[in-house]
Structure 1
Amino acid sequence: MTDQNKEIDEKKATDIEAAVFRRLLQHLDERKDAQNIDLMNLAGFCRNCLSKWYVTAAEERGVEIDYESARERVYGEPYADWKEKYQKEATAEQLEKFKESHKH
């Protein structure tokens, strides 16, 4: 860690991390073509995982948020609406890759 990084206090680090998370959500919103199955197959997480992590992080901080509310935060709209507009049927190849990558 450089001396400059050591000077970042915890609040500033949290502010930066929050900005990065918002930018990630913006990026995913701009890349609706990146299907969740593709994200899972390539990176091992997807928008739904982010939503679950959001719920967990909130709970760890004494804030109650339900999964659907977290998904709306991540997807930028109710999940059912997003799914209807943007989610494509997974191909047999995508499903096989997912199955293979989640055996262990």
Structure 2
Amino acid sequence: MTKLTNEQQTAFEAAAFRKLVEHLRERSDVQNIDLMNLAGFCRNCLSNWYRDAAEGDGVSMSKEESREIIYGEPYAQWQARNQREASEAQKAAFETNKPSH
């Protein structure tokens, strides 16, 4: 396995995170409930983890601020333009697979 410095590891993780966020912004057709049902996390989870990391480092951040970082715009705007009502099948799958985080 390639030996990385702590700085390299952090830089590569940050680059991968930025790419994931960019990909999720480009794929607004993929609903959060679909992500939750398939992968156990969604954009909102990612924004919560971001906020947790900030607060763990002593930086106060609201839920709205962390969501805007992940969504690339205020959440309400993204939601109004992209979010559809979940189907009964999607809701049932969510209840079966709901993660505990």
Please state which band the TM-score falls in when normalised by the shorter chain: over 0.9
Displacement of 1:102 in angstroms is 2.5
Q: Distance in 2 between matches of 1:61 and 1:10?
A: 18
Larger Rg: 1
- The 1:81–1:16 alpha-carbon spacing in structure 2 relative to 1, beyond 3 Å, is same
Q: What is the number of residues matched between the two proteins?
A: 100
Match of residue 23, structure 1, among 15, 19, 22: 19
Q: Distance in 1 between matches of 2:99 and 2:65?
A: 30
Percent sequence identity over matched residues? Answer: 52
For residues 10-60 of structure 1, give each alpha carbon's deviation from its aligned partner in whole angstroms, at most 9, with x where no partner exists: 111111111111100110011111100000000000000001000111111
Are 2:37 and 2:90, in contact at CA under 8 Å, matched by a contact in 1? yes
Aligned to 2:44: 48
Match of residue 35, structure 1, among 31, 34, 45: 31
- The 1:11–1:77 alpha-carbon spacing in structure 2 relative to 1, beyond 3 Å, is same
Aligned to 1:76: 72
Aligned to 2:63: 67
Please give the secondary structure, in 2, of the residue aligned with 1:33: coil
Instruction: Tell which has more relative contact order, 1 or 2 (C-alpha 8 A, sep 6+).
Output: 2
Instruction: For 1:66, give the aligned amino acid.
Output: S
**TM-score (norm. length: structure 1):** 0.91
Match of residue 13, structure 1, among 9, 14, 26: 9
Displacement of 1:103 in angstroms is 8.4
- 4+ residue segments displaced more than 3 Å: none
Query: Where does the alignment leave 5 or more consecutive residues of structure 1 unmatched?
Result: none
Aligned to 1:87: 83
For residues 69-97 of structure 1, give each alpha carbon's deviation from its aligned partner in whole angstroms, at most 9, with x where no partner exists: 00000000000000000001100110010
Instruction: For 1:19, give the aligned amino acid.
Output: A
Please give the secondary structure, in 2, of the residue aligned with 1:89: coil
